Chains A and B, each alone.
Chain A
Amino acid sequence: MIVQAIRSDLLKINGKGLWFLTFLAPVGLIAMQGLNYGLRYDYMIKAYAGDPWGGLLDNILMFVPIALLMGITILSSMLANVEHHTSAWKQLLALPISRYAVFGSKFAIVALLLAVASIVLALGSFGLGLLLGFDAADFPVTDAIKLAAYPYLASWTLLTPVLWMCVTYRNQSLPITIGIVAALISVFPLSEWVPTNWPLASYKAENGETFVLAGLIIGLVILLPAAVHFNRKDVN
């Protein structure tokens, strides 16, 4: 049943700019590093002489958390707005489909788009490295996969509550404010207990997998009451 809802949602987001943003974000991050390396090529090459690929991934990583959290906020809000805009919730939820499937599908769509963005980012960093003349044979595949997967999974803690708020409230100012504040906070290394730090810590810290697991589990745990609430709420 959820597959049908996802197929329907994929059709609905056509032409709404969600896919555009999904590709724009990673391409933008890569372009930014292209500029960074292009402007001070000699300095950067010298600074990371021992491990040029690692240096490049580290530089890209710097902006991954803020991009991820912004992406979560904007994509969730845009996705919810497809239904809010013409009050289509009442039409959708009067169809013979479980509300869990509807909510699950919204979650799956945002998760899918973010996953695509993360994969594009990993592929893009490989492309940029080649452009900068790095040796393809030395490309740290494991690190690139970690760069794509770890911050993404660690950010689920914020994905579920933001999506839930976007879907619940017609007025998007609260979830967008919360999402943007979280994105800004993620730039500053606070305590590792603060979830906004987990996307960065998941890649940088030695026990990065802990943050991945924590983000994933807490995200899924929040998904449960969010879906239950969505299932019970009155649709006006």
Chain B
Amino acid sequence: MKEWIIETRGLGKRYKGRYAVSNLNLQIAKGEIYGFLGPNGAGKTTTIRMLLGLIKPSGGSIRIFGRPLEKDRLSILRKVGSLVEYPSNYGHLTAVQNLEAIRRIIGVPASRIDEVLAIVGLTKEAKRPVKGYSLGMKQRLGIASALLGNPELLILDEPTNGLDPSGILEIRELIKEMPRQYGITVLISSHLLSEVEQMASVVGIIRRGELVFQDTINSLRTQSQSAVTLRVSEREDALGVLASRGIEAAIGAGDSTLSLGSAGDAAVALAVKELVQSGHAVYRVEEDRKTLEKLFLEIVGEDGSL
């Protein structure tokens, strides 16, 4: 059995009778970058707050590093770095002072401040008050704060929210390095699949408080593979012809279409040949490429378009 860094069982949170999160079973293995996806309001932030002990679950259990969060909150948090939603730095203090305020609580050596500032590339701006920072710089400072305590687990809630493309790229590169260089497990939430796709190894998709998908990004890719459709005359007859030749096909979604699924080139060629030889007209042979994004929208349902 794998060693789970985060494991939740039946986790739920109820606000005034409505479940914001219900029956959530997350499993995050060591050294992974876990993309936690879902449309706005699906319960990502609520889940992350429960993982950090900021809010109390209405039901279910959370185990982090194999220990129950409820009992061992402080010793678990010692090994967790977090950034919850938009950054919350003290604007009147400089970056160094902001980190010092946290350092005094977690008690790491003072040299660690320069180290994390170097990691996020803020060394030059470190002596300026944070209120003059751009959003991207504040976000990087937030990540520096999260890294300050040499965490084994990094929990980042929408770390690229509101950033411009180059800022997003920067943060992504930064996060990708974490497991590789420091052996840190990362949980990163986002409402954009495209953002997580390029760094996450495993994704969990949450919809209306329920986990609707949890597997590797590769398995998601497999599901999104292309399907070949044929448009033919008299498709019922054509289906019979194909079936009698042992070619798998199904009635397609469109008018007079047949779906061949993710058939290979040879199978498609054979199907066309058989149909033509038995007197069917083949109007179109189309490849319907489902993008990951489309699949994601399908999984999250109509909420995704909001």
Q: Is the CB of B102 within 8 A of A12?
A: no
Q: From residue 58 to 86 of chain B, which have CB atoms closer than 8 A to chain A?
A: 74-75, 77-78, 80, 82, 84-86
Expressed in whole angstroms, the minimum distance between the Cβ of B181 and any Cβ of chain A is 23
Stretch from B49-57, B226-234, B269-277 at the A interface? B49-57
Cα–Cα, bound, A11→B90 (Å): 11
Contact A96/B49 with A12-B101, A234-B56 known, Cβ cut-off 8 Å: no
Q: Is the CB of B54 within 8 A of A93?
A: yes
Closest to B52 in A: A94
Q: Is the CB of A88 within 8 A of B88?
A: yes
Say yes or no: is B107 at the interface (Cβ < 8 Å to chain A): yes
Say yes or no: is B97 at the interface (Cβ < 8 Å to chain A): yes
Q: Is the CB of A91 within 8 A of B145?
A: yes
Q: Is the CB of B54 within 8 A of A96?
A: no
Q: Is the CB of A4 within 8 A of B93?
A: no
Q: Is the CB of A90 within 8 A of B84?
A: yes
Cα–Cα, bound, A236→B86 (Å): 12
Say yes or no: is B104 at the interface (Cβ < 8 Å to chain A): yes
Expressed in whole angstroms, the minimum distance between the Cβ of A86 and any Cβ of chain B is 4
Q: Is the CB of B104 within 8 A of A90?
A: no
A78-107 toward B: CB 8 Å interface, digit per residue (1/0)?
Answer: 000010011111111111111000000000
Cα–Cα, bound, A235→B84 (Å): 11
Say yes or no: is B91 at the interface (Cβ < 8 Å to chain A): yes
How many interface residues does A have (CB within 8 Å)?
28
Cα–Cα, bound, A85→B102 (Å): 17
- Chain A contacts for B104, CB-based, 8 A: 4, 7-8, 11
Say yes or no: is A204 at the interface (Cβ < 8 Å to chain B): no
Most buried by A among B77, B84, B88, B107: B88
Expressed in whole angstroms, the minimum distance between the Cβ of A102 and any Cβ of chain B is 9
Cα–Cα, bound, A98→B106 (Å): 11
Closest to B55 in A: A234
Cα–Cα, bound, A93→B53 (Å): 8
Say yes or no: is A46 at the interface (Cβ < 8 Å to chain B): no
Selected contact of B89 from candidates A15, A86, A232, CB within 8 Å: A86
- Chain B contacts for A14, CB-based, 8 A: 92-93, 97
- Chain A contacts for B56, CB-based, 8 A: 232, 234
Most buried by A among B52, B78, B90, B102: B90
Say yes or no: is B210 at the interface (Cβ < 8 Å to chain A): no
- Chain A contacts for B97, CB-based, 8 A: 11, 14
Contact A12/B93 with A4-B105, A96-B75, A235-B49 known, Cβ cut-off 8 Å: yes
Cα–Cα, bound, A97→B101 (Å): 13
Q: Is the CB of B54 within 8 A of A234?
A: yes
- Chain A contacts for B158, CB-based, 8 A: none
- Besides A93-B53, A98-B74, A236-B54, 19 other CB < 8 A contacts? A11-B100, A11-B104, A12-B90, A86-B89, A86-B91, A87-B85, A87-B86, A91-B88, A91-B142, A91-B145, A94-B54, A94-B77, A96-B74, A96-B75, A96-B78, A96-B106, A97-B106, A234-B49, A234-B54
Q: List residues of A whose CB falls within 8 A of some B CB.
A: 4-5, 7-8, 11-12, 14-16, 82, 85-98, 232, 234-236
